[in-house]
Chains A and B, each alone.
Chain A
Amino acid sequence: MEKVIQIENLSVYYGKTVAIKNICLDIEQGEFLGIIGPNGGGKSTLLKAVLGLIPVTTGSIRIFGKEPGNSRGEVGYVPQFAAMDRRFPISVFEVVLTGRLGTGLSPFMRYSKADKIVAYEQLERVGIVDLAERQISELSGGEFQRLLIARTLTMRPRLLLLDEPTASVDATSREQIYQLLEDLNKEMTILLVTHDLLAISSKVHKLACLNESLVYHGEPELSQTIVNKLYGCPVDLIAHGVPHRVLKEHEEETQID
């Protein structure tokens, strides 16, 4: 099985502050990995390092065997919609088209018919094709997030990185997005940074817990010790409507006869 991402002893420091330390993580083709952890624990830093947006202090990252930033067309990135400028005068269709821009600068470039067809296809794929001519300021959170996914899909990536795609999104849209991701996982490897435990429990294949260092990496099942290490204190993780347990049995429960 081809290793899509190989991270070895990765540490990233911002000046003197450590963001992430000694991360060793391998992700194989076709995986669906969820990354959870407390805020400030380094999840975004890890994503940015994988994308080549920030310099690595020590260690190495290989994406498809290459340095980060050198596999431009193969790595798709979906940021949080909350960080976007939603008041910018641009239509849904135009946003999706920007995924088809070439590298460098493209003077006098006009999007080709093929570009437009691909853009429409991706809008259909994520389910917002009838919003194509709308200005982005008119979209809901869920629709906007799906727009950002569509934009990345026009690049036909083999690896998809998503940064909290369901933060501030209503429940119906959330379910739609996870359905979409499950679908997409048949064609590409997915890395999902999230706080959403429902996703962790029911959708992802593997789970990584990040709090400066990699506290856990394995099946999406958390024990109290791991949660303690991850959040630094005993935290009750409650997920509603979870079809199977995420948390292992508590000791007290087994004592009740």
Chain B
Amino acid sequence: MQNAFLASILASVVCGIMGVIIVEKKLVMMSGGIAHTAYGGVGLGYFLGIEPILGAFFFSVSAAIGIGYIKRKGGVQSDVIIGLLWSMGMALGIVFIALMPGYPPDLSSYLFGNILSVTKMDLRLMIILTCIVVFVVIALFNDWKAYLFDEEFASIIGVKTAFLEYLLLVLVAMTVVVLIRVAGIIMVLALLIAPAATAGLFSSKLKGRIVYAIAFGILFCITGLWISYLMNIASGACIVIIAVVFYFVAYMICAIYTKMKRKQMAERQQIKD
């Protein structure tokens, strides 16, 4: 249980930071592609007898760098490549697992998340990756802000934008790997997007959004964990349902609130006139 809580905190931190960036820069499809490619790594890891999560890590990072390279060369449209890698990764995972003799193990916890089965090795990797992501984002925060807002200008004044582009994709890959255990590959996107999207409803500043997103992430994970424990359903699914439902409810509340405020202001104007 303690492992599960720690995993939740780590996952919330990375998905708070990276989620806000991903949602803002419209990198959702790319993140999904990297996440699904990771399954190929899971299969490969299992095939080679190493921890599947390590295989997932190497595969995701390679996919991220590959996508970055192809994007830079400008040959094919990036969403074509992402779409292809998305399915290819899943297919490779299945093939690698099938190639091992004997009964295939239950790897569904990688697909759907089972935060309760997080191992010490998983946690160790998650801690390292979370620290790297946090460190890189904080260390280069001003460069990131300039690059994310206006890449062309940043490049003109001499900021190393090519490096930042690759670095961003690698950070996304690391984030995805941290989230695999918590939400599962198939639902990583929801955990990346929902806290960030909800945070966007409450804050219009970058730092503010990141803080809110981390807080919401923790809320969703802990609540989802609790329900998953009570009802014995995969943790990934519970967390994702809480997250998405919360977002839509928050969205509606905000929409109604804004409407009411507008009405109030219109009425006040009428009374004045």
Binding site for B on A (CB under 8 A): 51-53, 72, 75, 77, 79, 84-85, 87-91, 94-95, 97-99, 101-111, 135, 137, 151, 155
Complex Cα distance A179/B117, Å?
67
**B2 CB–A CB distance under 8 Å:** no
How many residues on chain B are close to A (CB under 8 Å)? 28
Choose the segment among B146-154, B171-179, B236-244 that binds chain A (4+ C-beta atoms closer than 8 Å): B146-154
**B142 CB–A CB distance under 8 Å:** yes
Nearest CB in chain A: distance from B80 CB, A: 19
Contact present for A89 and B159 (CB under 8 Å): no
Q: What does the 1/0 interface line of B205-219 toward A look like (CB < 8 Å)?
A: 110110000000000
> Out of A51, A85, A135, which one reaches B205, CB within 8 Å?
A135
Nearest CB in chain B: distance from A68 CB, A: 10
Q: How many A-B Cβ pairs are below 8 Å?
A: 81
> Out of A84, A91, A103, A108, which one reaches B158, CB within 8 Å?
A103
Contact present for A103 and B159 (CB under 8 Å): yes
The B interface, classified by DSSP as helix, strand, loop or mixed, is: helix
Complex Cα distance A51/B158, Å?
11
Nearest CB in chain B: distance from A184 CB, A: 18
Do A137 and B204 contact each other (CB < 8 Å), given the known contacts A101-B143, A106-B140?
yes
Q: Please, which residues of chain B bring their CB within 8 A of the CB of A101?
A: 142-143, 146, 154, 157-159
Complex Cα distance A185/B200, Å?
41
Do A77 and B153 contact each other (CB < 8 Å), given the known contacts A89-B205, A98-B145, A135-B205?
yes
Q: Please, which residues of chain A bring their CB within 8 A of the CB of B163?
A: 105
> Out of A77, A89, A137, which one reaches B209, CB within 8 Å?
A89
> Out of A79, A89, A103, which one reaches B24, CB within 8 Å?
A89
Contact present for B142 and A155 (CB under 8 Å): no
